[in-house]
Amino acid sequence: MSILVLADHHDGQLAGTTAHVVAAAQEIAKAGGGDIDVLVAGEGVSAIAEAAAKLNGVSRVRVADNAVYAHQLAEPLGALLVELADDYSHVLSSASTTGKNVMPRLAALKDVSQLSDVIAVEGIDTFCRPIYAGNAIATVKSDDALKVMTVRSTAFDAVAADGSAGIESVDKVVDNTQSSFLKEELAQSDRPELGAAKVVISGGRGMGNGENFKLLDGIADKLGAAIGASRAAVDAGYAHNDMQVGQTGKIVAPDLYIAVGISGAIQHLAGMKDSKVIVAINQDEEAPIFQVADYGLVGDLFEVLPELESKL
Protein backbone atom coordinates (compact mmCIF):
# COMPACT_ATOMS: atom_id res chain seq x y z
CA MET A 1 0.00 0.00 0.00
CA SER A 2 1.14 3.53 -0.73
CA ILE A 3 1.83 6.53 1.43
CA LEU A 4 0.08 9.87 0.96
CA VAL A 5 1.65 13.16 2.04
CA LEU A 6 -0.56 16.24 2.29
CA ALA A 7 1.44 19.18 0.94
CA ASP A 8 1.67 22.37 2.97
CA HIS A 9 1.45 25.56 0.97
CA HIS A 10 0.68 29.22 1.34
CA ASP A 11 0.87 32.31 -0.85
CA GLY A 12 1.01 30.15 -3.96
CA GLN A 13 4.18 28.40 -2.86
CA LEU A 14 4.99 24.95 -1.58
CA ALA A 15 6.00 25.27 2.08
CA GLY A 16 9.43 24.01 3.05
CA THR A 17 7.90 21.66 5.61
CA THR A 18 6.59 19.34 2.87
CA ALA A 19 10.12 18.17 1.94
CA HIS A 20 10.63 17.15 5.58
CA VAL A 21 7.38 15.19 5.68
CA VAL A 22 8.36 13.40 2.47
CA ALA A 23 11.59 12.43 4.27
CA ALA A 24 9.50 10.80 7.01
CA ALA A 25 7.44 9.07 4.31
CA GLN A 26 10.68 7.75 2.76
CA GLU A 27 11.61 6.18 6.09
CA ILE A 28 8.23 4.44 6.20
CA ALA A 29 8.76 3.32 2.59
CA LYS A 30 12.17 1.88 3.51
CA ALA A 31 10.58 0.02 6.42
CA GLY A 32 8.28 -1.74 3.96
CA GLY A 33 5.78 0.90 2.91
CA GLY A 34 4.88 1.55 -0.72
CA ASP A 35 5.14 4.44 -3.15
CA ILE A 36 4.86 8.02 -1.99
CA ASP A 37 2.14 10.27 -3.39
CA VAL A 38 1.76 13.93 -2.54
CA LEU A 39 -1.65 15.61 -2.46
CA VAL A 40 -1.81 19.30 -3.30
CA ALA A 41 -5.26 20.70 -2.52
CA GLY A 42 -6.22 24.31 -3.03
CA GLU A 43 -7.27 26.79 -5.66
CA GLY A 44 -4.84 27.77 -8.40
CA VAL A 45 -2.16 25.39 -7.19
CA SER A 46 -0.51 24.14 -10.40
CA ALA A 47 2.83 25.81 -9.62
CA ILE A 48 2.76 24.24 -6.16
CA ALA A 49 2.13 20.83 -7.70
CA GLU A 50 5.12 21.29 -10.00
CA ALA A 51 7.32 22.13 -7.02
CA ALA A 52 6.02 19.06 -5.15
CA ALA A 53 6.75 16.85 -8.19
CA LYS A 54 10.45 17.69 -7.82
CA LEU A 55 10.72 16.31 -4.28
CA ASN A 56 13.00 13.29 -4.13
CA GLY A 57 11.21 9.97 -3.73
CA VAL A 58 7.75 11.15 -4.75
CA SER A 59 6.05 8.86 -7.31
CA ARG A 60 3.01 10.90 -8.08
CA VAL A 61 1.49 14.27 -7.26
CA ARG A 62 -2.28 14.39 -7.06
CA VAL A 63 -3.81 17.82 -7.51
CA ALA A 64 -7.23 18.84 -6.26
CA ASP A 65 -7.60 22.31 -7.71
CA ASN A 66 -10.98 23.80 -6.93
CA ALA A 67 -12.46 26.84 -5.21
CA VAL A 68 -13.89 24.63 -2.47
CA TYR A 69 -10.34 23.83 -1.31
CA ALA A 70 -9.24 27.47 -1.21
CA HIS A 71 -7.72 28.38 2.17
CA GLN A 72 -7.62 24.65 2.93
CA LEU A 73 -10.62 24.74 5.25
CA ALA A 74 -10.84 21.64 7.41
CA GLU A 75 -14.30 20.46 6.35
CA PRO A 76 -13.77 20.09 2.58
CA LEU A 77 -10.10 19.10 2.92
CA GLY A 78 -11.01 16.40 5.44
CA ALA A 79 -13.77 15.11 3.16
CA LEU A 80 -11.35 14.99 0.23
CA LEU A 81 -8.79 13.01 2.26
CA VAL A 82 -11.51 10.55 3.27
CA GLU A 83 -12.32 10.03 -0.42
CA LEU A 84 -8.68 9.30 -1.24
CA ALA A 85 -7.57 7.42 1.87
CA ASP A 86 -8.64 3.93 0.77
CA ASP A 87 -5.66 3.82 -1.62
CA TYR A 88 -3.19 4.26 1.22
CA SER A 89 -1.72 2.60 4.30
CA HIS A 90 -0.33 5.87 5.71
CA VAL A 91 -1.46 9.48 5.39
CA LEU A 92 0.99 12.11 6.63
CA SER A 93 0.99 15.86 6.97
CA SER A 94 3.29 18.26 8.76
CA ALA A 95 2.26 19.32 12.24
CA SER A 96 1.38 22.74 10.81
CA THR A 97 -1.85 24.44 11.81
CA THR A 98 -3.36 23.10 8.58
CA GLY A 99 -2.22 19.55 9.27
CA LYS A 100 -3.38 19.65 12.87
CA ASN A 101 -6.70 21.07 11.75
CA VAL A 102 -7.56 18.42 9.21
CA MET A 103 -5.80 15.13 10.01
CA PRO A 104 -7.90 14.29 13.10
CA ARG A 105 -11.03 14.68 10.94
CA LEU A 106 -9.68 12.13 8.48
CA ALA A 107 -8.76 9.74 11.30
CA ALA A 108 -12.15 10.03 13.01
CA LEU A 109 -14.08 9.52 9.79
CA LYS A 110 -12.02 6.40 9.04
CA ASP A 111 -12.47 5.26 12.67
CA VAL A 112 -8.74 5.13 13.38
CA SER A 113 -6.45 6.89 15.84
CA GLN A 114 -4.19 9.73 14.83
CA LEU A 115 -0.56 10.11 15.89
CA SER A 116 0.50 13.71 16.49
CA ASP A 117 3.94 15.26 16.07
CA VAL A 118 5.84 12.13 15.05
CA ILE A 119 9.60 12.67 15.50
CA ALA A 120 10.97 9.25 14.50
CA VAL A 121 9.96 6.27 12.38
CA GLU A 122 10.89 3.00 14.10
CA GLY A 123 9.08 0.75 11.66
CA ILE A 124 6.10 0.61 9.37
CA ASP A 125 3.71 0.76 12.33
CA THR A 126 5.91 2.06 15.16
CA PHE A 127 6.69 5.70 15.78
CA CYS A 128 8.09 8.04 18.43
CA ARG A 129 6.37 11.19 19.57
CA PRO A 130 6.93 13.69 22.37
CA ILE A 131 4.43 13.95 25.24
CA TYR A 132 4.29 16.20 28.30
CA ALA A 133 5.88 19.17 26.51
CA GLY A 134 8.68 16.98 25.22
CA ASN A 135 9.69 15.87 28.71
CA ALA A 136 9.00 12.29 27.70
CA ILE A 137 9.22 10.49 24.37
CA ALA A 138 6.60 7.80 23.77
CA THR A 139 7.15 4.93 21.36
CA VAL A 140 3.77 3.81 20.05
CA LYS A 141 2.64 1.01 17.79
CA SER A 142 -0.49 1.41 15.69
CA ASP A 143 -2.48 -1.64 14.64
CA ASP A 144 -4.95 0.48 12.71
CA ALA A 145 -5.20 -0.48 9.03
CA LEU A 146 -4.75 3.18 8.12
CA LYS A 147 -2.08 5.18 9.92
CA VAL A 148 -2.88 8.88 10.08
CA MET A 149 -0.20 11.13 11.48
CA THR A 150 1.24 14.59 11.68
CA VAL A 151 5.02 14.88 11.48
CA ARG A 152 7.25 17.35 13.29
CA SER A 153 9.16 18.69 10.31
CA THR A 154 12.23 19.75 12.32
CA ALA A 155 12.86 16.11 13.24
CA PHE A 156 13.48 15.00 9.64
CA ASP A 157 16.00 16.39 7.15
CA ALA A 158 14.37 17.72 3.98
CA VAL A 159 14.63 15.61 0.84
CA ALA A 160 16.32 17.15 -2.18
CA ALA A 161 14.36 18.75 -5.02
CA ASP A 162 15.84 16.54 -7.72
CA GLY A 163 12.88 14.34 -8.63
CA SER A 164 10.35 14.38 -11.46
CA ALA A 165 7.09 12.78 -10.41
CA GLY A 166 4.05 12.66 -12.63
CA ILE A 167 1.15 15.02 -11.89
CA GLU A 168 -2.47 13.84 -12.01
CA SER A 169 -5.59 15.76 -11.21
CA VAL A 170 -8.17 14.55 -8.72
CA ASP A 171 -11.59 14.95 -10.24
CA LYS A 172 -13.52 14.38 -7.03
CA VAL A 173 -14.97 17.62 -5.72
CA VAL A 174 -16.62 17.67 -2.31
CA ASP A 175 -19.29 20.08 -1.05
CA ASN A 176 -18.89 22.51 1.79
CA THR A 177 -21.92 24.32 3.12
CA GLN A 178 -20.83 24.55 6.74
CA SER A 179 -17.81 26.83 6.77
CA SER A 180 -16.57 29.77 4.77
CA PHE A 181 -13.46 31.89 4.73
CA LEU A 182 -13.88 35.49 5.88
CA LYS A 183 -10.38 36.95 6.09
CA GLU A 184 -6.75 36.41 6.86
CA GLU A 185 -4.28 38.75 8.53
CA LEU A 186 -0.85 37.39 7.84
CA ALA A 187 2.28 38.93 9.26
CA GLN A 188 4.37 40.39 6.45
CA SER A 189 8.02 39.60 6.85
CA ASP A 190 11.08 39.25 4.63
CA ARG A 191 12.70 37.07 7.22
CA PRO A 192 12.95 33.29 6.95
CA GLU A 193 10.08 31.11 8.17
CA LEU A 194 10.41 30.55 11.92
CA GLY A 195 10.10 26.78 11.67
CA ALA A 196 12.74 26.48 8.93
CA ALA A 197 15.28 29.22 9.81
CA LYS A 198 18.93 28.27 10.48
CA VAL A 199 19.14 30.98 13.14
CA VAL A 200 16.36 32.13 15.46
CA ILE A 201 16.53 35.01 17.92
CA SER A 202 13.65 35.18 20.40
CA GLY A 203 12.59 37.77 22.92
CA GLY A 204 10.78 37.23 26.19
CA ARG A 205 9.09 39.26 28.87
CA GLY A 206 12.47 40.81 29.64
CA MET A 207 12.18 42.83 26.44
CA GLY A 208 9.85 45.10 28.41
CA ASN A 209 7.60 46.20 25.53
CA GLY A 210 6.86 45.63 21.86
CA GLU A 211 8.94 48.60 20.76
CA ASN A 212 12.05 47.03 22.28
CA PHE A 213 11.59 43.97 20.06
CA LYS A 214 13.13 46.15 17.35
CA LEU A 215 16.44 45.68 19.16
CA LEU A 216 16.38 42.13 17.76
CA ASP A 217 15.95 43.32 14.17
CA GLY A 218 19.53 44.40 13.50
CA ILE A 219 20.95 41.15 14.85
CA ALA A 220 18.39 39.14 12.88
CA ASP A 221 19.36 41.06 9.73
CA LYS A 222 23.04 40.29 10.22
CA LEU A 223 22.47 36.60 10.95
CA GLY A 224 19.63 35.99 8.48
CA ALA A 225 17.58 34.96 11.48
CA ALA A 226 13.88 34.55 12.10
CA ILE A 227 12.47 36.33 15.15
CA GLY A 228 10.53 34.40 17.77
CA ALA A 229 8.99 35.14 21.14
CA SER A 230 8.10 33.44 24.38
CA ARG A 231 4.48 32.98 25.37
CA ALA A 232 4.91 35.66 28.03
CA ALA A 233 5.98 38.16 25.38
CA VAL A 234 3.07 37.23 23.11
CA ASP A 235 0.52 37.36 25.94
CA ALA A 236 1.86 40.78 26.94
CA GLY A 237 1.27 41.99 23.38
CA TYR A 238 4.97 42.53 22.59
CA ALA A 239 4.89 40.12 19.66
CA HIS A 240 2.43 38.45 17.26
CA ASN A 241 0.96 35.06 18.12
CA ASP A 242 2.57 33.42 15.11
CA MET A 243 5.99 34.21 16.63
CA GLN A 244 5.40 32.08 19.72
CA VAL A 245 7.96 29.34 20.25
CA GLY A 246 6.95 26.59 22.67
CA GLN A 247 4.87 23.55 23.51
CA THR A 248 1.72 24.99 22.02
CA GLY A 249 3.31 27.36 19.52
CA LYS A 250 6.04 26.75 16.96
CA ILE A 251 8.63 24.04 17.42
CA VAL A 252 12.03 25.14 16.14
CA ALA A 253 15.40 23.41 15.90
CA PRO A 254 17.79 25.85 14.23
CA ASP A 255 21.59 25.67 14.21
CA LEU A 256 21.65 28.68 16.52
CA TYR A 257 18.93 29.81 18.93
CA ILE A 258 19.42 33.04 20.85
CA ALA A 259 17.04 33.53 23.79
CA VAL A 260 16.91 37.11 24.99
CA GLY A 261 15.15 38.03 28.22
CA ILE A 262 13.51 34.60 28.35
CA SER A 263 13.50 32.82 31.71
CA GLY A 264 13.05 29.35 30.23
CA ALA A 265 9.73 27.87 31.36
CA ILE A 266 9.37 24.19 30.42
CA GLN A 267 6.69 25.16 27.90
CA HIS A 268 9.21 27.38 26.09
CA LEU A 269 12.03 24.84 26.31
CA ALA A 270 9.71 22.30 24.65
CA GLY A 271 9.76 24.46 21.55
CA MET A 272 13.50 25.03 21.18
CA LYS A 273 15.61 22.56 23.13
CA ASP A 274 16.50 20.55 20.03
CA SER A 275 18.38 23.54 18.63
CA LYS A 276 22.02 22.73 17.91
CA VAL A 277 23.50 25.68 19.81
CA ILE A 278 21.58 27.73 22.36
CA VAL A 279 22.64 31.15 23.58
CA ALA A 280 20.89 32.77 26.54
CA ILE A 281 21.08 36.44 27.38
CA ASN A 282 19.39 37.27 30.66
CA GLN A 283 20.10 39.48 33.61
CA ASP A 284 18.92 36.86 36.11
CA GLU A 285 21.77 34.41 36.45
CA GLU A 286 19.43 31.92 38.14
CA ALA A 287 17.10 31.80 35.12
CA PRO A 288 16.40 28.16 34.10
CA ILE A 289 17.26 29.00 30.48
CA PHE A 290 20.94 28.88 31.46
CA GLN A 291 20.55 25.18 32.32
CA VAL A 292 20.04 24.36 28.63
CA ALA A 293 22.17 27.09 27.06
CA ASP A 294 25.53 26.25 25.55
CA TYR A 295 26.59 29.86 26.06
CA GLY A 296 25.07 32.07 28.70
CA LEU A 297 25.65 35.78 29.07
CA VAL A 298 24.39 37.41 32.24
CA GLY A 299 23.73 41.04 31.54
CA ASP A 300 21.34 43.85 30.73
CA LEU A 301 19.91 43.08 27.31
CA PHE A 302 19.60 46.78 26.53
CA GLU A 303 23.39 47.02 26.68
CA VAL A 304 24.18 43.58 25.31
CA LEU A 305 21.99 43.68 22.19
CA PRO A 306 23.42 46.88 20.61
CA GLU A 307 26.94 45.69 21.37
CA LEU A 308 26.23 42.26 19.89
CA GLU A 309 24.76 43.83 16.77
CA SER A 310 27.84 46.01 16.30
CA LYS A 311 30.22 43.09 16.71
CA LEU A 312 28.61 40.64 14.32
Partner 1 sequence: MKVLVAVKRVIDYNVKIRVKPDHSDVDLTNVKMAMNPFCEIAVEEAVRLKEKGVASEVVAVTVGPKAAQEQLRTAMALGADRAIHVQTDDKVESLAVAKLLKGVIDEEQPGLVILGKQAIDTDNNQTGQMLAALAGMPQGTFASEVDVQGEKVAVTREIDGGLQTVELSLPAIVTTDLRLNDPRYAKLPDIMKAKKKPLDVKTPEDYGVATGSKVSLIKVEAPAERKGGVKVGSVDELVDKLKNEAKVIS
Which of positions 2-31 make contact with partner 1 (CB under 8 A)? Answer: 10
The region of 28-36, 40-48, 105-113, 204-212 touching partner 1 under the rule CB under 8 A is: 105-113
Instruction: Name the burial class of residue 122, with classes exposed (0-12), middle (13-18) and buried (19+) by CB atoms within 10 angstroms of its CB.
Output: middle
Question: Would you give the binding string for partner 1 spanning residues 204-243, x where CB under 8 A is met?
Answer: -------------------x-------x--xx----xxx-
Find the binder of partner 1 among 137, 157, 161, 168 (CB under 8 A): 137
Residue with smaller CB distance to partner 1, 157 or 255: 255
First-last CA distance in the chain: 52
Find the binder of partner 1 among 133, 158, 170, 236 (CB under 8 A): 133
- Considering the rule CB under 8 A, would residue 286 count as an interface residue with partner 1? no
Residue with smaller CB distance to partner 1, 89 or 142: 142
- Considering the rule CB under 8 A, would residue 100 count as an interface residue with partner 1? yes
| 89/140 Cα distance (integer angstroms) | 17
Residue with smaller CB distance to partner 1, 57 or 76: 76
Nearest distance, CB of residue 303 and partner 1, angstroms: 9
The region of 35-43, 94-102, 157-165, 167-175 touching partner 1 under the rule CB under 8 A is: 94-102
**Mapping DSSP to helix (H, G, I), strand (E, B) and coil, where does residue 53 land?**
helix
Are 106 and 79 spatial neighbours (Cβ–Cβ below 8 Å)?
Answer: no
Cα-based distances in Å from 7 to 96, 173, 215, 287: 10, 18, 35, 40
Find the binder of partner 1 among 157, 168, 172, 179 (CB under 8 A): 179
Nearest distance, CB of residue 189 and partner 1, angstroms: 9
Q: What is the DSSP string of 56-95?
A: TTEEEEEEEE-GGGGGG-HHHHHHHHHHHGGGEEEEEEES
The region of 37-45, 53-61, 129-137, 159-167 touching partner 1 under the rule CB under 8 A is: 129-137
- Considering the rule CB under 8 A, would residue 167 count as an interface residue with partner 1? no
Helix (H) or strand (E) holding 221: helix 215-223
Find the binder of partner 1 among 141, 171, 211, 286 (CB under 8 A): 141
| 77/6 Cα distance (integer angstroms) | 10
- Considering the rule CB under 8 A, would residue 121 count as an interface residue with partner 1? no
| 263/161 Cα distance (integer angstroms) | 39
Least Cα distance to 17 among 89, 109, 95 occurs for 95
Nearest distance, CB of residue 64 and partner 1, angstroms: 18
Find the binder of partner 1 among 134, 192, 203, 206 (CB under 8 A): 134
Helix (H) or strand (E) holding 23: helix 17-30
Length of the chain: 312
Residue with smaller CB distance to partner 1, 162 or 186: 186
- Considering the rule CB under 8 A, would residue 115 count as an interface residue with partner 1? yes
- Considering the rule CB under 8 A, would residue 192 count as an interface residue with partner 1? no
Cα Rg for the chain, rounded, in angstroms?
20
Q: According to CB under 8 A, which residues from 39 to 68 bind partner 1?
A: none
Helix (H) or strand (E) holding 109: helix 97-109
